[in-house]
A = this chain, B = another copy of it.
Amino acid sequence: MNTFTEENYLKAIYHGSAPGGSVSTNEIAAALNTRAASVTDMLKKLAEKKLINYTKYQGVTLTASGEKIALSIIRKHRLWEYFLVEKLNFKWDEVHDVAEELEHISSKELVDRLDDFMGNPKYDPHGDPIPDRKGEFKAHQLKPISSLGVNEEGVISGVRDHSSSFLQYLEKTQLTIGKKIKVAEIHIYDHSVVIQSGDRRTHISREVANNLLIAL
């Protein structure tokens, strides 16, 4: 097995990689709140274990087995988040830190049974896809509200910013996953957007419009 730390590095590399691309030492250091020198040390170890492809100064990509591990961690993270929200009544902004711990519980039997217990959910509370036991998943096709024109509609299906302050803001303004919305107005001056949802109108900033994702 791998240590928690190794698992966190693999996950960070997975999340930091643009499709097909590689991740830099500094990006990993930023994601894990650590120093570049520490990252270099760990990259050597992960390369030694054949979990990443690493050549000095070139950045890294995951090998097939590294990606498999990363996906299993992400599966656990998202299933536990779903459990916390759906079964234990946590709010969607309260679950991430707990899931960061739970994702390292090793038992595969446990997550698979948890998955069945909850009816094999496909998306976590933030709209992110949950890999199945084979590591497969299909992501929603998403785009930010800021890319819509006036009168275009869609269903809120994901967030680009997972911070609890953003999630709390969305909760308060009732812009949560599953809500059907329409763009009512766009202010050219500051790119802020007025959203219509049912008979409720909400004025959101450009930043919020960039971070709120709707399904096509």
Query: Which of B98, B101, B110 lies in contact with A88, CB distance below 8 A?
Result: B110
Task: Provide the bound-state CA to CA distance between A109 and B91, in Å.
Answer: 12
Q: How large is the interface on A (under 10, 10 to 19, 20 to 34, 35 or more residues)?
A: 10 to 19
Which one of B98, B105, B109, B117 contacts A110 once the chains associate, using CB atoms below 8 Å? Answer: B98
Once the chains bind, are A101 and B90 in contact (CB under 8 Å)?
A: no
Q: Is A28 an interface residue (CB 8 A)?
A: no
In the complex formed, the residue of B with least CB distance to A4 is B4
Could you say which of B88, B105, B107 contacts A114, with CB atoms under 8 Å apart?
B88
From 133 to 149 in chain A, residues with beta carbon under 8 angstroms from any chain B beta carbon are none
Contacts beyond the supplied A88-B114, A90-B113: 15 A-B pairs with Cβ under 8 Å = A84-B110, A87-B117, A88-B110, A88-B113, A90-B109, A97-B107, A98-B105, A98-B107, A98-B109, A98-B110, A101-B105, A101-B106, A101-B107, A102-B105, A105-B105
- Name A residues whose Cβ lies closer than 8 Å to a Cβ of B: 84, 87-90, 94, 97-98, 101-102, 105-107, 109-110, 113-114, 117
20 A-B residue pairs with CB within 8 Å: A84-B110, A87-B117, A88-B110, A88-B113, A88-B114, A88-B117, A89-B113, A90-B109, A90-B113, A94-B109, A97-B107, A98-B105, A98-B107, A98-B109, A98-B110, A101-B105, A101-B106, A101-B107, A102-B105, A105-B105
